[in-house]
Copies of this chain bind each other. A is one copy, B any other.
Amino acid sequence: MRIIVQKFGGTSVATQDKRLLAIEHIKDAVKDGYHVVVVVSAMGRKGDPYATDTLLGLLDSAEHCAKREKDLLMSCGEIISAVVFSSLLTEKGYDNCVLTGAQAGILTNDDHSNAQIITVTPDRILKELEEGKVVIVAGFQGAAGNGDITTLGRGGSDTTATALGVALNAEVVDIFTDVDGIMTADPRIVDDAKKLRTVTYAEICNLAYSGAKVIHPRSVEIAMQKNIPVRVRSTMSKDPGTLIISQAENDRMEPRSFKDQVLTGITQTANITQLKVDCAPTGGNQLKVFKAMADNQISVDFISVTPTGVAFTVSNEDVEKAVGVLLDLGFQPEVLSNCAKVSAVGAGIAGVPGVMATILEALTAEGIEVLQSADSHTTIWCLVREEDMVKAVRALHRKFKLHA
């Protein structure tokens, strides 16, 4: 059985017009001989009566609602959306049925509001597919072992889609959204940013974590486990979007050399502040700093430890709290506000020497100072002043010929 999973996000199912566009994609898949599993999010965004945030807004005192009960409430958003979608699909002549996350066999742990999928037992889905039905699964939800309804956290419908893709050994998982695919850079910053035909699982994870909020990294990690291809596509067009695949498959489809494309994309995150603390590691001082940040739920990034001190970044919102914590510890931090992180992502980085040199060359030529840097297998991060951020993204995009 050739199976495709098609996930439609909140904006793709918000109105009747949008749902009709979504159904066109289902029709195409059926025509292509696929058995289709549809995953839907709740309808619309904040303000719409059946969107997740609106349902939570019904609670006069959200802080008094237990996480378990909140999950139950939120799960209704996707169920309502799925039934409305089902009704329209029936009208268009497609036999279908709706399954809740629990009915679809999605077993999770009981970490309410952020549950992890333990297993997917897709017997019911397979039975319905065999009967020729399109199966619509309410996204973002599952059930714990005791039957309690759980939700999978933000981006949860993406996770539902790829987890079902893995369990059903789907040929492909389509993530329909309101953009055409993954871009080499934010098109609002880089005029000639280009849609990527393919990216690897590792690259998309770094692109997503770094600010390109198109698909949830967690869902990609699940697809990666079984090499299930994922496509990020627009509901509004027939364009195949961006295909997310393994490194090996990508190398086969798109052989590349240092000369043409070592980088895949550039992303940026603003509103960052750098903190520096003069302190030797004696007496566990450096350890104390990071332990205090963790104890106060302050996320830190760009951690740099030297024999004379530590440096790290926090988001602008956390600065006041972080400085307070440091002062309480008896430290006098040096604060550099209004920084930004520029990320150069590319699976090619690892094997290619001189990428960092090229990055520095591009930035220096524009008079941009790199305040700090970090790197991983597939990504190089540079901390720059926020006023330099746009210039830096454009310079790297141009230098690495990502428009080409």
A166 close to B (CB within 8 Å): no
Whether A88 lies near B66 (C-beta < 8 A) is no
Stretch in A4-12, A69-77, A375-383 with 4+ CB within 8 Å of B: A69-77
Which parts of A54-80 form the interface with B (CB within 8 Å)? Answer: 55, 58-62, 64-66, 68-70, 72-73, 75-76, 79-80
**What residues of chain B lie closer than 8 Å to A36, measured between beta carbons?**
none
Q: Is A86 an interface residue (CB 8 A)?
A: yes
Q: A69-B97, A72-B79, A87-B69 are in contact. Are A60 and B103 (CB under 8 A)?
A: no
* Cβ–Cβ contact B90 & A65, under 8 A: yes
Shortest Cβ distance from residue A344 to the other chain B in the assembled complex, whole angstroms: 45
A91 within 8 Å of B (CB atoms): yes
Contact residues of A: prevailing secondary structure: helix
Across the interface, do B102 and A86 meet the contact criterion of CB distance under 8 Å?
no
Which residues of the partner chain B approach A62 to less than 8 Å between Cβ atoms? 87
Say yes or no: is A192 at the interface (Cβ < 8 Å to chain B).
no
Residue in chain B with minimal CB distance to A84: B58
Q: Which of A7-49 contact B (CB under 8 A)?
A: 16, 49
Interface contact B66-A86, CB-CB below 8 Å = yes
- Give the number of times this chain occurs in the complex, counting copies: 2
Distance of A188 from chain B, by nearest CB (Å): 35
Residues A61 and B87 in contact, CB atoms below 8 Å apart: yes
Q: Are B69 and A88 in contact (CB under 8 A)?
A: no
A292 at the B interface (CB under 8 A): no
**Contact partners of A65 in chain B: CB under 8 A:** 83, 86-87, 90
A50 sits at the interface (CB 8 A): yes
User: Residue A100 at the B interface, CB < 8 A?
Assistant: yes
Given contacts A66-B86, A69-B87, A148-B103, contact A58 B76 (CB under 8 A): no
Question: Are A80 and B87 in touch, CB under 8 angstroms?
Answer: no
Q: How far is the CB of A217 from chain B (nearest CB, A)?
A: 30
> Is A351 an interface position by the 8 A CB rule?
no
Q: Are B72 and A87 in contact (CB under 8 A)?
A: no
User: How far in angstroms is the closest Cβ of chain B from A170?
Assistant: 23
Which residue of B72, B83, B90, B124 is within 8 Å of A83 (Cβ)? B72
The answer to whether A172 has its CB under 8 Å from any CB of chain B is no
Q: Which of B50, B64, B66, B88 contacts A97 (CB 8 A)?
A: B66
The one of B58, B64, B88, B103 in contact with A50, judged by C-beta atoms closer than 8 angstroms, is B58
A147 at the interface (CB under 8 A from B): yes
A98 within 8 Å of B (CB atoms): yes
CA–CA, A391 and B88, complex, Å: 52
Bound Cα distance A72, B80 (Å): 8
A64-B90, A72-B98, A73-B79 known, 9 other contacts, Cβ within 8 Å:
A59-B84, A59-B87, A61-B88, A61-B91, A66-B90, A69-B86, A72-B83, A100-B149, A124-B147
14 A-B residue pairs with Cβ-Cβ distance under 8 Å, sorted by A, are A16-B60, A59-B84, A64-B90, A64-B91, A65-B87, A66-B90, A69-B97, A69-B98, A72-B82, A72-B83, A72-B100, A73-B79, A73-B83, A76-B80
Across chains A and B, which 7 residue pairs bring their CB atoms closest together, nearest first? A76-B76, A65-B87, A73-B83, A64-B91, A64-B90, A59-B87, A61-B91
